[in-house]
Amino acid sequence: MNFTYEDIKNQAQQAAAELVEVAKLQAGDIFVIGCSSSEIVGLRIGKGSDINAAQAVYEGVMNVLEPKGIFLAAQCCEHLNRAVIVEKAALLPGTEIVNVVPHPHAGGSFATTVYKNAKQPVAVEEIKADAGIDIGGTLIGMQLKKVAVPVRLTVKQIGHAPIICARTRPKFIGGERATYDNALSGGDIPR
């Protein structure tokens, strides 16, 4: 099946909307995406970077995140050690910024697109995001807060690329006599 860039945009928008709702994200939260534009267009990861597919994903996702004040973080590819591109305003004080500007063949088309569209883009070696989408097997787990909780959406792929989604919740501590705040856990209270 062939997908148009409009199809890709719509799939990304629907996936982002569903995940934002399930994860109960709020203004100031961070939403990380690792995106293989190659996989989206039906090629093997790293073998066919497509800036137009990346732009379509960006537009669809930002249609959801921007009005809610949620920050987008883009995980770069392995050539940049999976560094993250994010708005400077999303960083906690003292976060160390690294010096790199992604491009389609070192960082990936999606990170390049996020960098070009951000108001004040910066690169960091890691981030602790509240939720995220892995598009095409980019392995975003290292960029999520502990504890990551898998989320299944009605959207199973973007273009040809399978997606895996996660939200996060605070760790449970304290043992059998502890009580927990169900609102923080998203309903995952241990029994």
> What is the set of domains in the chain, with CATH numbers?
5-185 (3.40.50.10360)
Rounded CA separation 21/141 (Å): 20
Q: Could you report the per-residue pLDDT of 46-65, keeping only the tens digit for each?
A: 788 999 999 999 999 999 99
Token pair for 54? 């990346």
- Residue 78 is predicted with a pLDDT of 87
d(CA 109, CA 114): 9
Ranges of the chain with pLDDT below 70: 188-191
Nearest to 98 by CA among 122, 82, 77: 122
Closest CA to 35 of 168, 165, 169, 167: 165
Classify strands 131-135 and 161-168 as parallel, antiparallel or unpaired.
antiparallel
- pTM comes to 0.93
pLDDT of residue 2: 87
**CA pair distance 112, 117, nearest whole angstrom:** 9
How many Cβ atoms sit within 10 Å of the Cβ of residue 189? 12
Query: Across the chain, what does the average pLDDT equal?
Result: 94
Q: For residues 127 and 184, give the distance between their C-alpha atoms in angstroms, rounded to a whole number.
A: 20
**Could you tell me where the beta strands, DSSP code E, fall in the chain?**
30-35, 71-75, 84-87, 121-124, 131-135, 148-151, 157-158, 161-168
Q: Element (H or E) spanning 74, and its range?
A: strand 71-75
pLDDT at 191: 59
